[in-house]
Structure formats: C-alpha cells, structure tokens
Structure 1
Amino acid sequence: MIELKTFNRKELEELISSGGFQQYDFLPVTRHRAESQIRNPKSSDEQTLLILAFYNDRLAGYAGCFPDSIITGEKVISYAWLSTLYVHPEFRKKRVAKKLLKKACEEYEGRIAITEFTAEAEALYTIMGIFEYVFPKEGKRYYFRTDATGIIPEKKPETKVLKPLFQLMDVIGNSVLSVKNIRVKEPDFRYEVLSRIDAQSAGFINEFSSQRNAEEINIFIDHPWILEGKKDHRYLFSSFAEVFKYFWIKIYDENNRLSSCFLLQFRDGYLKIPYLFSNNNLDHVVEFLTYFIVKNKIKGLTSYQPALNNKIKDSGTFPKIYERDFKREYLFHKQLLQALPEGFDPHYQDGDGDCMMT
C-alpha cells in the first residue's frame, strides 16, 4: 500500500533540523537544497515543497515542488515547478511515480510546470494526458576545449581503460588552442565582476520585464542547490560539484553608463547564462565572454539567449571550436494553461524555473 506525506515550509524545516531526512536508504532531499526551498520568496507557508511516498512503511520515492508565480497585468498566478520526481528501482512497477505526480497536481490545483526532464519521465507525463508542450526555447551549446577524458568514457564506459590516451589527446589539443587564443586580450571598456547583484544593477534590471527581480536572484545565489564538494550518492539529483560559482557581470558604455548585466553560472568547467539584461549592447557582452572563456579555460557554454546567440554567430573572434543546437521543452498542466490569458508567453530566461539552481 502506498502512503504519501507532504511537507510545507515549516514541516520541511523540522525534517531537516531534526536530521529525519537522513534515516532512509536514500535521501529525499539535501540539507542545502531544503534550506534554499524554505527561503524561496515565492513560496507561502502553506504550500507543499516535498512529497514522500512510502510503500509498506519504506521510502519508495519523492517529488519536489518549487513554487513560482506569473504576473499577467494585475493578476498573479501561483504555480509550482516539479523540480524532482524519483522512485527507487525496487518500487518502479508499483505506480509510485503516478501517485506522486497526481498528488503534486492536487496540492497545486493542477498548476504545475515541468522542464529539463528525462526521456523516461517525459513518457510518464505524456501518458498522463494532462500536460501540454509550450514556449519551447531554441539554444546553443558552444565548445571551446577538447574534453575527450570526460566525454568519451561517460558515453562509452568500456573505453575507461584508454583514459591516459584521452588525457594526452586533451593536453595536445588544448595546448594548440591556447596558442590560437593568445591574441585574446582583456576588454578595454569598463566592466565589473561581482559575487551577487548590487543596488545599481537592481535598478537597471527593473527597466526590463522579468519573471524574477534582483532580490529573488540574490537569494538563490546565496543559497544554491549545488555546493562544492563530494557528491552524496544517496541523493540522485544534482547536489555537489567540484566547482560551482556564480558571477554577476556589469558592463558600461563609453559614457560610463551601465549598459548590460548578466549572471554567469560556472560548474566544473561549463558555463550557463541564467539571466541577461542589456540595452542592445551585446557586442561588448560577446567580447567579455570571449575574454572570460579563454582566461578561465572554459570547456563549454550553453545559451538559450536568442539575441546573444545571433551576435555570437556574427562574431569572428568568439573562440568556439564546435557548436550544437539545443532545445528546451516546457510542459504545462492544462489547468495552468487555462489560468493564463490566451496567447500569453512568459518569455522565460535561461534561469527561470529551477534551471538557475542546477
């Protein structure tokens, strides 16, 4: 028999502070992820943040809910992202995932959104017949250095014995690229690199339509879902990385006025741009990225910023050696779509939803 237990902000805090989440064979949440969820400014005290499924008193799976809101005119529509859905292999033929998903939809009256899902999870969402694909984002992943050591063994585990050869290939390839990129110089325009958003940037951001403001972004910078350190293998979602940092970049024009601000997420050699705000001065953004990528030996960059990607395409100096097309799909529950005005598009940035945190 499957039993479900829900946790709101207070109950989740009690679960973490008591250490109760550590008692199971696998972790339903990490301490730092729970603490971040508790501080989510768009979460109310009553909303469910975590759902645990028990089968004969044993933890069988869990679902995470990440509250958010959309402003349409004067109306605020609350909903939640399904941030995690996991069922232990021992219980995967006992309809646990469907029970968890139905409970999440029930807790939020059908106002559930999902993105960055696996093919296995997507099959479940499709079978349920309650979600629709909406607002797809076309993106690019750019590669700047060879990484045969990391990529090939991951895709083909039988090649792990060849790791020394791959390492030698990377050393040779990246040495050649370093010589090629030696001409990249530091930009001659004014810029700043901060650890979080400052007051000047916050005022600048307010000039743009955005699903998140500076205060909200700073909360998640200060309370990330990923920490630097060794992974706890009892938690199956992202929780630790060797390197995980945020950089807030400010770029000024020739009149010393702020013209662009953006957030960089740096994780184990790879970059994302969760948020970008610019007064159409993307040439300087591309120039700064070129310098930052070469200086920090970045392996790759994923961007769903269409205007920036077009500017990169026109750039003759961007240090990419290869690029791939990417597509991010979003699934909205039909009841959430019914609550939105006809033709409404939230114009999500890369970091909206729970994407900024992982």
Structure 2
Amino acid sequence: MIQLKTLNKKQLAEFVSSGDFEKYDFLPITAHRAKSHINNPKAKDEQTLLILAFENEDLAGYIGCFPDEFKIENNRFSYAWLSTLFISEKFRGKRIAQQLLNKVFEEYNGNIAITEFTKEAESLYNKIGVFNYIEPKFGKRFYFKTDLATIIPTKKPKLKTIQPLFSIADGAFNGFVSLKNIGAKKPDFKFEIIEKPDEESTKFINQFESNRNTEDFKWMIENPWVLEDEKPDERYLFSSFSRIFKYFWVKIYDENNELICCSLLLLRNGHLKISYLFSNNKLDRFVDFLGWFVTKNKVKILTSYQTQLNETIKKKSNFPKIYERDLERRYMFHQNLIKNLPEKFNPNFQDGDGDCVMT
C-alpha cells in the first residue's frame, strides 16, 4: 500500500537538516533547492512544497510544488506550479503518479499550473482529464555558433562514430564567426550590469503590470536551484548543478541618463535566456547591448519569448545571429484554476514565470 507524506516549509527544513532526504536510493530534493523553496516569498507557511510516496519504508516517488501568485486588481490569488514528478522504476505501474497528482489537487484545491513538460508528462496530464491548455507563448531561439558535434549524434546515434568530424566542422565555422565578431564594440550608451535589482530598478519596474517584483528577483538570484559545478548529483533527476549558471541584472539608459529598460538574464552553459524584461521605450539599445553581451560571454544560443524584443532583433542587421527558429511554450491549467480566475483572465506571463527562471 502506498502512503503519502506532505511537507510544508517547516517540515521540509527538518527533513533536509536531519539528513533524512539523503538516505534513499534517489534524492527527492537537493539541500539548496529545498532552501530556495523554503525562502520563496510567494510560499505560505502552511502550503505543501513536497509530497513523498512510500511503500512500506521505501521511497517510491515524489512530486514538487512551487507556490506562486497572480495579482488580480488589488488582491493576490495563490496557486502552485508542478515543478517535479518522479516515480522510481521499481514502482512503475502502481498508479503512484496519479495518487501524487490527486494529493496535489487536494492540497491546492485544484489551483495548479504546468509548463515546460515532457511529452511523457503531457500525455499523463491529458489522460487524467482535469487540465486545459491556455494561450501559449511564441518565441524565438537565436543561434550564434554551431554545435553539430552535440546535436547530430543526439538525434542520430548511429553517427556518433564520426563525432570528431563534426567537432572539426564546428571549430572551423565557429572560428570564422569569432573572427567576424572580434571587432564587436562595447555600446557607447550608459548601461549597468549588477548582481541584483537596486532601488532605482524597483521604482522603474513598479510602473509595469507583473507577477513578479524586485523582492522575488532577489530571492531567485540569492537562492538558485542550480549551483555551479562540473558534475551533477546523479541521484537527483532534475537540474541541480551546471558548469556555468549565472544571473545578470541589466539596466539600460537613454541619452539623458534616464533608466529605460531593466532585464533579468540567465546564462547557463552558453545558453542565454531573457527571463524578465521591463521597458517603456523602443528596445534598440537593449538589442545592441545583447549583441555585445553575446559576443563577450561566448553565448551559443539565445532563447526569448519576448515578442517585441524578437521583432526588434529581426530588424537589426548587425545582430550576430547565424540562424533562428520558432518556439512554442505551452501551459496547462487545472480546470478548477480556470474556474477560480476571472473570465478571459490574462496571466501576463514572462519568460521566467513558472520555474523557468530557476533552471
């Protein structure tokens, strides 16, 4: 028989500090991710953050919850994202995933959202029949270097034997691109790259409708789910360590030294994401900054779901991309969440909403 155990902030802290989370065949959470969940400013003390499934004394699986809020007029509406769902191979076929999901729905009264799901997870969510798709976000992925040595063998394993040839091709083409971009100049307008939002940033972004504020951004930056390290912990099946994982808070000014743009960037192993962007002006200066930043930090890929930004990039002939492709990010809301929100409610999601900014 499967027993479920729910953990709120206090219980999760005790679970990790006692070392109990490490005594199983696999980790249900990492210590630094638990710390981040506990410090989440959107999470209430009584809300469930992690649910464990046991058969006798054996950990069979788990599901993680990531509390969040919508700002609706002057009120705050609490809901949660599903952030992890894992069932051990030894316990597959016992409908444990369904039991964990049902417990999450019970804990949050169905106020559950999901994004960035795998095809297998999406199939499960559709099968249980309680989720509806809402309006997706459409984005772009811009490429600045080739990575044939990784991409081709991944898609066609039979070609792995000639991976060295792809590496040579990458080196030759990317060497040419590097020479082409070697003259990239630092923007001649004022900008700042700082560790986290300051008072000026706070005043600026308070002008905009957003699900997030500067306190949230500071929490994200100070409590990452991913730490910089060469080797991941193989007992945890989700993001935990990465060779490069850095946040950047960017401020762009106009010719009168007035702040016109703020953005939270996330760089992970050569992949740059525009997690949040606030601007009350044209984005030409921010795009010029991005072109320089990409070259300076040897960025391979830029992912952006910021429609206006992507349109501005397409108009910039000097932006150092070599290729681009379209993206779609889908979202699923539990039917109860949809019922509890105003009719035709626009969640106003940015790139980093959900747990995307954390991974």
Say yes or no: TM over 0.5: yes
Corresponding residue for residue 277 of structure 1: 278
CA distance in 1, matches of 2:111, 2:253: 40
Count of paired positions: 358
Quick check: 1:269–1:297 contact (8 Å CA) kept in 2?
yes
- Residue 345 of structure 1 aligns to a residue whose secondary structure is coil
Q: Which amino acid aligns with 1:237?
A: F
Residues 86-105 of structure 1 mapped to structure 2, 5 A cutoff? 86-105=86-105
Alignment of 1:290-329 (within 5 A): 290-329=291-330
Aligned to 1:258: 259
Give the Cα–Cα distance (whole angstroms) in 1 for the partners of residues 174 and 130 of structure 2. 48
Could you say what secondary structure the match of 2:70 adopts? strand
In structure 2, give the amino acid aligned to 1:114: I
CA distance in 1, matches of 2:151, 2:16: 36
Q: TM-score, normalised by structure 2?
A: 0.97
Contact 1:260 1:281 in 2 (8 A): no
Q: Can you list the C-alpha shifts for 1:224-281, whole angstroms capped at 9, x where unaligned? A: 0000112001100111100000011111000000011101100001000110001123
Q: Distance in 1 between matches of 2:165 and 2:88?
A: 37
Query: 1:132-211 to 2 correspondence within 5 Å?
Result: 132-211=132-211
* Alignment match, 1:75: 75
Name the SS for the 2:160 alignment partner. Answer: helix
- Distance across 2 between alignment mates of 1:294 and 1:42: 36
Is residue 2:223 matched to residue 1:223? yes
Unaligned runs of 5+ in 1: none
Which sits farther off after the overlay, 69-78 or 189-198? 69-78
Q: Secondary structure at the match of 2:105?
A: helix
Q: CA deviation at 1:167?
A: 2.0
Residue equivalent to 2:344: 343
Report the alpha carbon displacement of residue 153 of structure 1 after superposing the two structures with TM: 2.8
Take 1:154 and 1:232, find their aligned partners in 2: how far apart are those partners? 22
Query: What is the CA–CA distance in structure 1 between the aligned matches of 2:281 and 2:158, rounded to whole Å?
Result: 48
Tell me how far apart the structure 2 counterparts of residues 160 and 15 of structure 1 sit (CA, whole Å): 43
Tell me, yes or no, if the aligned pair for 1:77 and 1:339 is still in contact at 8 Å. no
Instruction: Map 1:40-119 to 2 at 5 A.
Output: 40-119=40-119
Percent identity (aligned)? 58
**Structure 2 equivalent of residue 6 of structure 1:** 6
Matched to 1:331, the amino acid is: M
Cα distance in 2 for partners of 1:280, 1:341 equals 30
Alignment check: 8 A CA contact 1:113 1:332 kept? yes
Q: How far is 1:198 from its partner?
A: 1.2
TM-score in terms of structure 1 length? 0.98
The SS at the match of 2:211 is coil
Of stretches 313-322 and 270-279 in structure 1, the one that deviates more from structure 2 is 313-322
> 1:243 aligns to what?
244
Structure 2 CA distance for aligned equivalents of residues 132 and 95 of structure 1: 22
1:355 is matched with 356
Corresponding residue SS for 1:135: coil
SS in 2 for 1:141: strand
Q: Alpha-carbon deviation of 1:296?
A: 1.3
Runs of 5+ consecutive residues of structure 2 not aligned to the other structure: none
SS of match in other structure, 2:136: strand
User: For residues 152 and 163 of structure 1, what CA distance do their matches in structure 2 show?
Assistant: 8
> Shift of the alpha carbon at 1:164?
2.5
Q: Distance in 2 between matches of 1:104 and 1:142?
A: 37
1:146-168 residue CA offsets vs partner (Å, 9 max, x unmatched): 11222223333343333322221
How far apart are the structure 1 equivalents of 2:349 and 2:178? 35
* Distance in 2 of aligned mates of 1:56 and 1:148: 47
Amino acid at match of 2:117: F
